[in-house]
Amino acid sequence: MKNRYWLLLVVIALLASCTDKFEEYNTDTKNPSEVPGEPLFSNAEKTLSDQISSTNVNNNVWKLWAQYWTETTYTDEANYDIVNRTIADWTFNYYYTGAVANDGVLSDLKRAKELISAQTPATDPEKVAQQNKLYIIDLLQVYSYQRLVDIFGDVPYTEALDINNIHPKYDDGMTIYKDLITRVDADIAGLDDTGDSFGSADLYYNGDVSAWKKFAYTLKVKLGITLADADPTLAQSTVESAYDKAFTSSDDDCLMPYLTNTPNTNTLYEDLVLSGRHDFVPANTVVDIMNNLQDPRLPLYFTQVDTSTETGVEKLAYLGGSYGESSPFDNYSHVSDKLLDPTFPGLIMTYTELQFYLAEAAQRGWNVGKTAAEYYDEGVKSSIMWWGGTEAEANAYLAKPDVDYATAVAATSWKEVIGTQSWLASYTRGLNGYTTWRRLDYPIFNLAPTIDSYDQIPVRFTYPINEQTLNADNYAAASSAIGGDLLTTKLFWDKN
């Protein structure tokens, strides 16, 4: 009996000696429950770029909807089916709360802002760096919310990302846009380009605050020009107050520098090369337009295919698959090797797109320093040269009657000329090209087999199925406010 009591005392003593480090032994040091704000910011940058770059049909169909590409076998997405794969849900979650193994872009940015705000800087330079970080985070939040509004229309904003409110209301799209402009103004005023910020934790600009300031002014132009038909007065004042401090060359482009090894390669490499799948070919929409213009970017965008019907005779040409129809991979052009490179950068915002925004602003009579033709020419030239073409090729292209601004506008309209070239320059950036088409109504798209008329081409995503079931009241209110939750319901800025 004594021995049993003694054994019990020994066991109790051993347990007591272990439990003073119980929390330490039960902490997974390789997977911390909380990380600093800076890595969360880095993760948000990569997640955002991956979503923009990806061609995974579960969460990014914009290269299809912009009619840059079409599908080889499974044609649901090119025919505007986003329900079968719950694509709207994936997209919504990618931005807000997370998809698969990733946290959402906005949830990461929100938590990064909270953690960095809670830091106590010891010196004045550290205080400046802290404030710069917060303003930069806010700029990416603005950028992300603009994309959400441009995809869906009214979306959760003032009540978004509150873990205590699982039923957030949807805010009016125009009201969100106005607040985003106000936020960018505050960020511009607050950024101190004499100080530091994220350093190497910033994957886009390596912590260069002056570069982020140019990004902010360019983002402001982008917000303003999108409102051109919805609120011309606000649009004009927004663009005019920002254009001269925005990007000044392609060196200012906001890019994600991908690496050669997974998981840090461009998602295009993952989708098109590592997957071993052949799901996409260029669409006839873009290839036919470029063929007609004898566009020097054709070999930079696509490969040629043998179109000969004679044995032993080769006839190479650029040939796109019929949009929305099954287009066997071997029968059509493919995307160029440039896009298959694992280090092809993620394109967040560029000098080239800015030039077309400013060409449009000048054409509308706004005070933006140069003529529409000057900005247009610079947009075309910078696009060709960014992709690897030469200045001589760009000049020869701009001299063609169908491309020269004066002669092309005289034969058609400025919206067709700027819209088509802006869309061509946005290749690989599907949402940008799709938004250009929605705003300016050019170029003319092809009809997919499942629709009968041009006005049946979708102009937005319908709301996620989960929102319809889990946030039903706010979903119903938002649907009513925008005029019905339909693919063909125009957004507030799409007036024509």
| Bond preceding residue 263 cis, omega within 30 of 0 | yes
The Cα–Cα gap between 114 and 377 comes to: 44
The greatest distance separating any two alpha carbons of the chain, rounded to the nearest whole angstrom, comes to: 108
Query: How crowded is residue 125: how many other Cβ atoms within 10 Å of its Cβ?
Result: 12
CB atoms under 10 Å from CB of 167, counted, come to 14
Smallest CA-to-CA distance from 440 within 178, 228, 236 is with 228
Q: In angstroms, how far is the first alpha carbon of the chain from the final one?
A: 94
Please give the Cα distance from 438 to 433 (Å, whole number).
Answer: 9
Tokens of 9: 């005392």
Rounded Cα distance between 110 and 117, Å, is: 11
Q: Which residues, in sequence order, are CB contacts of 398 under 8 Å at separation 6+?
A: 377, 380, 381, 404
pLDDT at site 19: 41
CATH architecture of 37-266+344-482: Alpha Horseshoe (1.25)
Q: Are the C-beta atoms of residues 280 and 57 closer than 8 Å to each other?
A: no
Query: What DSSP state is assigned to residue 455?
Result: G
Q: Do 256 and 204 meet the contact criterion of CB atoms below 8 Å apart? A: yes
Please report the DSSP string for 199-266 in residue order: GGG-TTTTT-HHHHHHHHHHHHHHHHHHTTTT-HHHHHHHHHTTGGGS--SGGG-EEE---SSTTSS-
Cβ atoms of residues 198 and 207 within 8 Å: yes
Whether 204 contacts 156, CB under 8 Å: no
- Specify the amino acid at residue 50: D
Other CB atoms within 10 A of residue 403 CB: 20
pLDDT given for residue 22 in this prediction: 35
The helix or strand, by DSSP H or E, that contains position 316, with its residue range, turns out to be: strand 316-317
Angstrom distance (rounded) from CA 485 to CA 458: 12
Can you read off the two tokens belonging to residue 466?
């989960």
Cis ω for the linkage preceding 257 (within 30 of 0): no
- Please provide residue 70's backbone torsions phi and psi, each rounded to the nearest 5 degrees: -135, 175
Q: Where are the domains of the chain?
A: 37-266+344-482
| CA neighbours closer than 13 Å in the CB half-sphere of residue 413 | 9
pLDDT at 233: 98
**What is the C-alpha to C-alpha distance for residues 212 and 234, in angstroms, rounded to an integer?**
23
| CA-to-CA dists, residue 105 to 99, 109, 114, 425, angstroms | 10, 6, 14, 26
Q: Cα–Cα distance between 79 and 163 in angstroms, integer?
A: 36
Q: Pick the closest to residue 345 from 142, 463, 203 (CA basis).
A: 203
Instruction: Split the chain (496 residues) into runs of 10 and give each run's mean pLDDT.
Output: 36 38 43 76 96 92 98 96 95 84 86 96 96 98 98 98 93 98 98 97 98 98 98 98 98 97 93 94 98 98 93 92 97 96 97 98 98 98 98 98 98 98 97 98 97 97 96 98 98 95
pTM over 0.85: yes
> Residue 99: what pLDDT?
57
Residue 93 near residue 311 (C-beta atoms within 8 A): no
Residue listed under structure tokens 């009809």: 447
Given this model, what pLDDT does residue 103 score?
Answer: 79
Query: Can you tell me the distance from the alpha carbon of 352 to that of 247, in angstroms, rounded to the nearest whole number?
Result: 9
pLDDT at 98: 75
* Tokens 């599907």 sit on residue: 430
